[in-house]
Chain A
Amino acid sequence: MGTSRNVERRTILKAAGASAATLGLAATTGCGGDSGSGDGTVTLRYAWWGGEPRTIAIKKTIALFEKKYPKVKIKPEFTDYEAFWEKFQTQASGGNPPDVFQNAVGFLRKYDKRGVLMDLKTQADAGNLSLENFRNGVLANGQVDGKQIGIPVGANTMALVIDLKAFKKAGVEAKMGWTWDEYFDTLQTIQDKAKIAGDTGYFSIMYLYDLYLRQNGKAFFTDADLGFTEDDLTQWWEDGYKRVRSGLVADPKKVEQVKPKSALSAGLAAGEFTWDNFSIRYEGEGESDYGLAPIPTTDGKNTGQYLGSLMLSAFSGTKHPKEVAQFIDFMVHDPEVGKIMGYDRGILATTEQYEAFTPTDDNNKGVKAYEEEVAAAGVLGKITPHPSGADVIEAAFLRLGGEVAQGKTKPADAAKALFSEAKAAFAG
């Protein structure tokens, strides 16, 4: 072992030590991302899911908020729906969810049960957040067991989005109060005259089946269970599969291949059931003109509809509950925010924002007209509970409905599987 190599080694050791020290330093600074800093500035993390237009609009509203509250900085985090909830679950289990985030009815009980959501009533009592001026009682959508764990930003309802050109070509019309029989007759006419399927796959959509059940005095969920029987669902899926085979409903193989595009905008079918505020996507994706049509009924009147909501929720463990409450207050009440957001997350939930925004484009006008029509028809009922696990069951419903459509699983077996998966989801 020569001295030169010894020296070399010593140098290397020193270098290693130095780099280790730097790494250590870097690590410390990296962890030093505390949300408060010396001058009293507070940083809040705000997360949502949604498309590009929503992200652009929300970023504008954030800038507005930061101007009004210069001591609060907002760090945005956004992704698509499925990735959002995967990420959120991981963050929340590690005690590190965003301070404020977009939420939906199906997730309230799940994360309330896990202690993640703040009861915003205390902040309202402290005067940091107003619970006044919510339209049509939608504030109740964010309440669970007497706690206000979500503040609605909008109100939406299920609708049938139709390809107007295809409906015109077939010479058919969608009328308020039409029955399921009339709906399927219409699909038949569309198939005969416009030569395309009429529906993209109604029977895999949990929220539509919910409406059907509500029309028949039931609901998808009860407080802690499913509100229908295996036989009910078997029948629903058997009818659905029959309509796939007869071509009234689009070929599931084709529907699968145009994803993430919708089968309606891809021209595979003339109609799709979805939330009315989603209708904006079709204009962007597809080449036809699209409009909103009424939900078919069982008795010629009751559509089973109710107003749902996207909401803002807060993390129970946030270090800055006051600022979080102020932020939510600003986002749901400020008229300027309403003007920027429009009906992207549903019809604006508070009167301040609702009155500030006058829709000028066809899409927003259509959403407004649709909800007015539904409200005028007097069919809006109260929202039924969504127990913890509703999100997992919705995904299972979609998947199993798809298996039925592909002819890979018998409706009875799929219904059985849904009940067994639901049991596990409720227990989780």
Chain B
Amino acid sequence: MTLVKEAPARPAGKRSAAPAAGRRGRRRENLAGYLFMSPWIAGFLLLTAGPMIASLYYAFTSYNLFTPPKWVGLDNFTTMFQDPRWQKSVEVTLKYVVVATPLKLLLALGVALLLAQSRRGQGLYRAAFYMPSLIGASVSVGFVWRALFSDDAIVDRTQKIFGLDVGGWIGNPDYVIHALVALSIWQFGAPMVIFLAGLKQVPRELYEAAEVDGAGPLRRFWNITLPMISPVLFFNVLLESIHAFQVFGSAYVVSDTRCGPADATLVYTCYLYQKGFKEAQMGFASAMAWTLVVAVALVTAVLFWSQKKWVHYEEAAK
């Protein structure tokens, strides 16, 4: 910066060429930067930002893909809020988020605590526990899940030993959501890795000091570990709940594409998909999408607001 400022004061000569070249160079460098970013920028504008803005407009129209969208104001939203299937989809999704997210994080934290201790073969254990997260989102696992939880399959037979006969979870509207929750929990690898990283950051001397003062393991966990990893916990809660709101693939595959039986796995995005791509009510589907965006933003805002009360940042403590 200084070089550039001083440049005009210098007499014209050989040396003045350098700063000018520098400026040009920097501009060229920026250009190169943008050039490298251009595929991403183009992709973002064309495939993400553009469609998002378009769908915001469609949310206020009646649009069947064939005839031009017709402005209907807030009609889609009023119809939506009164639509019993929409209400059902909200109910199913909330149930899923509220049950699956905490359970998944609990399991992730539990396993992370176990794996944080140094022992032989720990790399192997970590890889093994992380594995389901890599394959869990795939369609084939959805099929496997459907098979596992069906009538007379392994889960059903195991249950029967304990005298619980529900005739398979997949066909039972009261149980099938639990199969989805189980599938979500099983993929606890990503939050687990983040918890592990957080646990490694906790200074050893805090534990040593606590031990000297006679604090037991529970007390150490409650008063040291939990506050120290609360930023990581916050991050995981945020990420996993946003993720859970958008669940689609598992519900779609496990229910054999119908999100049933009796709409029991009709998660929000599945209803959105049915409205948009099966019934071609793109206006309604767009209104649903934007309602979800606002709802997730609100949940995020509430979480951020709540963190003042329970998330401990070390800088603040000093």
Name A residues whose Cβ lies closer than 8 Å to a Cβ of B. 1, 6, 9, 12-13, 16, 82, 86, 89-90, 92-93, 114-116, 251-257, 259-260, 392, 395, 399, 402-403, 406, 408-409, 417, 424-425, 428
Contacts and interface: CB of A to CB of B under 8 A. Distances in A.
Nearest to A251: B167
B84 A417 contact: yes
Contact of A9 (B29, B167, B170): B29
Smallest CB-CB A-B distances: 7 pairs: A253-B171, A256-B171, A93-B65, A408-B262, A257-B171, A114-B66, A403-B262
A417 B262 CA distance: 13
Contact of B168 (A9, A257, A392, A395): A257
A86 B297 CA distance: 31
Please report whether the interface of chain A is mostly helix, strand, loop or mixed according to DSSP: helix
A392 B280 CA distance: 10
Contacts, number: 81
Given A13-B32, A89-B65, A409 B262 contact: yes
A395 B274 CA distance: 11
Given A6-B25, A16-B32, A392-B279, 5 more contacts: A13-B32, A254-B167, A395-B278, A425-B279, A428-B64
Contacts of B261: 252-253, 256, 402, 406
B91 interface: no
Nearest to B31: A13
Contacts of B64: 114, 428
Secondary structure class of chain B's binding surface, majority of residues = loop
B279 A256 contact: no
B171 A254 contact: yes
Contacts of A82: 257, 278
For A114, A259, A409, which residue has the most chain B Cβ atoms within 10 angstroms? A259
Q: Which of B25, B32, B260 has the most CB of A within 10 A?
A: B260
A260 B256 CA distance: 7
B36 interface: yes
B277 A253 contact: no
7 contacts: A16-B35, A253-B168, A254-B171, A403-B262, A406-B173, A408-B264, A428-B280
Nearest to B258: A399
Contacts of B277: 86, 89-90
B286 interface: no
B281 to A, nearest CB: 6
Contact of A257 (B35, B170, B262, B279): B170
A115 B278 contact: no
A42 to B, nearest CB: 27
Contacts of B262: 402-403, 406, 408-409
B150 interface: yes
Contacts of B29: 9
A264 to B, nearest CB: 16
Contacts of B167: 251, 253-254
B123 to A, nearest CB: 36
B150 to A, nearest CB: 5
Interface string B13-38: 00000000010010001001001100
A402 B265 CA distance: 14
Interface string B57-69: 0000000111100
Given A115-B66, A254-B151, A399-B258, A408 B35 contact: no
A247 B251 CA distance: 29
A257 B150 contact: yes
B55 interface: no
Contacts of A12: 32
B170 A89 contact: no
A425 B280 CA distance: 9
A119 to B, nearest CB: 18
Given A254-B167, A428-B64, A259 B279 contact: no
Contacts of A6: 25
Nearest to A404: B262
Interface in B47-93: 64-67, 84
Nearest to B26: A1
A199 to B, nearest CB: 17
